[in-house]
Amino acid sequence: MSNPITNRLRLVEAFPVEGIPLFGNLKIRWFDRVVFPIEGMCQEIYRGKTYIDSVHPSSSSQTGKSIKARKGDLIYRVSLTPQPDDLTGIVKTKDGYRRMYNVHIQLRVNNPHKCVECYRNGEDPASLAIVQFKTSFENFFSRYTHDSIGNVNPGFDALNKQMSNVYGIIFESPSWSFYADQQREKELEIQQGIEMRKREILAEVEIKLFELRVGTKLKKEEINHDVDVKKLEDENRRGRERNQKQFERDEKVKQTDFNHAEKIKTQLNEAKIKLLSMTLSDLAAVNSERIRDAFDTNASVRTVLEDSLKLLAVFTPSNNNVEEAIDSNLLNEEVMNNLEEDRET
């Protein structure tokens, strides 16, 4: 019987029953031998091809009866302690990649009689259980893609129930890890490089857009500032032009008023001179007549001369009422019309 994996894990070991020694090495075969419980072991007793009975450990709820074995019987000691083992293999994913894996498992015999039956038939129950586990494991993960394979967890309850019924062995606390496909790693590296380059390009575009927005904003502000400056300059220029025109109008009015005043002054002087001339002529005529009368009447000529001097005193610069003494009738109609025309212009 070849059971290499089961033997390596020491799940099942066979021990033949020998006779009870009485005289040295002489053993008596017709005496039965009591099989005592062993902690952590279940002992399956066979006599030839016939199953005799099982001896469970003292901590088991199935213990309590004494079993006797004879010389020639076989006792199969089945370890009830979980035995660790490591499995490796390759899963071909849904998208065609190959991922190596490592699985760490604990094999525990939960049906000793079924396990020993397979062992006696040379079926190597531990090996068959491992093969079925790997097949189920690989079939499950082959339904997923390379990148999603690490996000799922298969259930082992149904598988353990099946293996318990067939091989008497179940798996406990399985843990596994996958290695990436080298081709996929290269593709991911290329893809990551492309994504990184995309991000760099997007970052550069964002920077350019930001600079463009900032430049546009600054240009707009500069244009607005230039417009405001231009508007202010235009307003100042128009203000200066208005002030200049107003100044020119005021100066023109002042000049006109000055010219009017000068013209009136000139005309008044001319009127004064004319009046003075007329007065002197009239005064000479009057004085000539008065002096003649004074000589004729022996009156004082001095009085006549004093009266003439008083009359001439009106035309002296110290007299503030010179203009009042000038008869407006002396200003002829042509002079007055000229003054009115100048004032209108």
Structure tokens at 49: 């091809």
Sequence-separated (6 or more) residues with CB below 8 Å from residue 271: 326, 330, 331
**239-261 confidence digits (pLDDT tens):** 888 888 888 888 888 888 888 88
Which residues lie below 8 Å from residue 339, measured CB to CB, with a gap of 6+? 260, 263, 264, 267
pLDDT score recorded for residue 312: 66
Q: Which CATH class is domain 83-183?
A: alpha beta
Name, in order, each residue with C-beta under 8 angstroms of 141's C-beta and a sequence gap of 6 or more. 91, 93, 99, 101, 149, 152, 154
| pLDDT confidence of residue 309 | 73
pLDDT-derived band at 282, boundaries 50, 70, 90: confident
Question: Strands 67-69 and 33-35: what pairing?
Answer: antiparallel
pLDDT confidence bin for 343, thresholds 50/70/90: low
Handedness of CA 11, 14, 19, 24 (dihedral sign): negative
* pTM attached to this predicted model: 0.56
304/293 Cα distance (integer angstroms): 10
Average pLDDT, the chain: 84
pLDDT (tens digit per residue) in 180-198? 999 988 888 898 899 999 9
Question: pLDDT of 94-117, one tens digit each?
Answer: 999 999 999 999 999 999 999 999
Band of the pLDDT at 329, cuts 50, 70, 90? very low
Confidence category of residue 275, pLDDT binned at 50, 70, 90 = confident
Reference 328, options 251, 275, 276, 253; nearest CA is: 275
- Residues 122-146: tens digit of each pLDDT: 999 999 999 999 999 999 999 999 9
| Residue closest to 16 by CA, chosen among 81, 95, 70, 96 | 70
Residue type, 142: S
Instruction: Give pLDDT, residue 30.
Output: 52
What pLDDT does 338 receive? 56
Whether the pLDDT of residue 327 is over 50: the answer is: no
Average pLDDT for residues 326-345, to the nearest whole number? 52
The whole-number pLDDT of residue 127 equals: 96
Does the pLDDT value for residue 270 go beyond 50? yes
**Is the model's pLDDT at 147 over the cut of 80?**
yes
Contact 162, 131 (CB under 8 A): no
Indicate the pLDDT class of residue 64, thresholds 50, 70 and 90.
low
Higher pLDDT, 72 or 61: 72
Q: For the residues of 133-178, what is the DSSP string, one character each?
A: HHHHHHHHHTTS-TTTGGG-----HHHHHHHHHHTSEEEEEEEEEE
Neighbours of 248 (CB within 10 A): 11
Contact 59, 39 (CB under 8 A): yes
Confidence of residue 298 (pLDDT cuts 50, 70, 90): confident
Domain range summary for the chain, segments of one domain joined by + = 4-79, 83-183, 248-344
- How far is residue 192's CA from residue 184's CA, in Å, rounded to a whole number? 12
pLDDT reading at 325 higher than 50: no
